[in-house]
Each structure stands twice: as C-alpha cells, then as structure tokens.
Amino acid sequence: MKKIYVREDWCLGCHLCEYYCANANLGGGDMWKNLKGKAIRPRIRVEGDNNVSFAVQCRHCDEPHCLKGCIAGAISIIEGVVSIDQNKCVGCCTCVLTCPYGCIVPTETGVMSKCELCVNNAGQAKKDKEGGIVGFIPACVQNCPNNAIVVEETEVTA
C-alpha cells in the first residue's frame, strides 16, 4: 500500500507541488497550456512561509472520516487509496466538513476532489522497459525540488 509523507524540514514553501498537482489532474502535459491565466485547484496545499512550511494532502487514512460521512457513498478505498467517484458525488461538502486535515477541495463543477496519489493520471505512470505500467508516481513527489514529499510502499497488514 502506498503512503505519502511530508517532511517539513525539507519543504521550501515554493508551492510547486500545487502547480504540478493541478497540472497532473488536468491531464498533464504542458503546464502553461493547462494553467496559464487560471486559478489552480490543487489537491495539495502548502501552508506557511519561507521559514516554516509544509505541504498537506490527503493522508489516506485507514479509517477515513470522509468515507464514513459521505452521503452518496461516493468515497471508497481502492487499493489503499481513498478515492472519490465524481460521478456519484453531489457536492454536498460533508467530506469537507469531516476531513480532519482539510484535504478535500471542490472542483470547478462543484463535485469534490482529493489527492488520489495520481493513480488515475496516465501522465504519472511509471513504466517498465517494455512500456507496461508498473505504478504511478504522484506529481508532487516527482517534482518536489527537495524531496520534501516522498511516497513509500508499505506492507499491507491484513
């Protein structure tokens, strides 16, 4: 199971993760084409200033409040990733009200979005030599200039 960690000591407060996140979730590709002149809607958020800063995104809780409170049953854990089915979401914001870390954000259309570790972003696929997809590397992890966001595979405990 994948878990993402934020290491405050190394966060520079550059906010690049927010832009790479927003871009990856818009399908990736040239960032300026996706984001030029637009307000970004990243699923990761940097708090703080130059001295103390850190990024916060979904912690992929084992016991997610958002999932348990979702009135539409739109949130589920898929292979360890707390995921929102945006076709089911009706945008009631109960998950926003229950997430202890403030990690669920509305999209432009009003349904909710959250970090899903880029597992649905084809552009973030890790490929083997034959081109087969062997996993996904979150855009924030891949592009953090100081390794302040890292992803780690952890043992699944039954």
Partner 1 sequence: MDLYVYPEFEVVRNEKKCICCQACSRQCANLVHSYDEATDCMEADDSKCVNCHRCVTLCPTKALKIVKSDHTFRPNANWSQATINELYLQANSGGVLLSSMGNPQPHPSYFDRLLLNASQVTNPSIDPLREPMETKVFLGRKTPVPPLEANNTTAVPEPYNPDGTLKTEMSPQIELSMPLMFSAMSYGSISYNAHASLARAATQLGICYNTGEGGLHKDFYQYGPNTIVQVASGRFGIHADYLDAGAAVEIKMGQGAKPGIGGHLPGKKNVGQVAQTRMTPEGSDAISPAPHHDIYSIEDLRQLVYSLKEATGNRKPIIVKIAAVHNVAAIASGIARSGADIIAIDGFRGGTGAAPTRIRDNVGIPIELALACVDARLRDEGIRDDVSLVVGGSIRSSADWIKAIALGADACYIATGALMALGCHLCRSCHTALCNWGIATQRPDLVKRLNPEIGTQHLVNLVHAWQHELKEVMGGMGINSVEALRGNRLMLRAVGMTKEEMNMLGVKMAGESA
Partner 2 sequence: MSKYVIIGNSSAAIGCIEGIRKTDTEGSITLIASEPHHCYGRPLISYYLEGKTDAEHMKYRPDSFYADNGVETMLGENVTGIDPITKTVTLQNGNSLRYDKLLVATGSSPRVFPAPGMDSVEHKTSFMTLNDMKYLEKHADQRSRILIVGAGLIGLKCAEGLKNRVLSVTVVEFMKQILPSALTPKAAARVQAQMEANGIHFYINNAVGEYKKAPPASADSVTLRDGSEVSALLANAESKYPDNTYTAVLKDGTEIPFDILVLATGVTPNTALVKDAGGTVNRGIVVDADSRTSLPDIYAAGDCTESVDVTTGETKIMALLPNAYHQGEAAGRHMAGAAAPFEEALPLNAVGFFGMHILSAGSYTQDILLEEDTNEYYRVFYGEGDKLTGFILIDKYARAGIYTDILRHGTPITEALLKEPGLLPFSRECRDEILTQKGGKN
The DSSP-derived string for 70-109 is -TT--EEEETTEEEE-TTT-----HHHHH-TT--EEE-TT
Position 106 contacts partner 1 (CB under 8 A): no
Which phi and psi angles does 127 have, rounded to 5°?
Answer: -115, 150
Per-residue contact track with partner 2, 71 to 110, x per CB under 8 A?
xxx-------------xx-xxxxxxxxxxxxx-xx----x
Contact assessment for residue 106 and residue 10, using Cβ atoms and an 8 Å cutoff? no
- Spatial CA neighbour of 96 closest among 75, 76, 119, 125: 75
Q: Which does 28 bind (CB under 5 to 8 A by kind): partner 2, partner 1, none?
A: none
Return the residue of 69, 123, 135, 137 that touches partner 2, per CB under 8 A.
69
C-alpha 95/C-alpha 70 separation (Å) is 6
Q: Cβ closer to partner 1: 45 or 60? A: 45
Window contacting partner 1 (CB under 8 A); options: 4-12, 67-75, 90-98, 111-119: 4-12
List contacts with partner 1 (CB under 8 A): 9-10, 12-16, 18-20, 23, 30-32, 35-37, 50-51, 143, 145-148
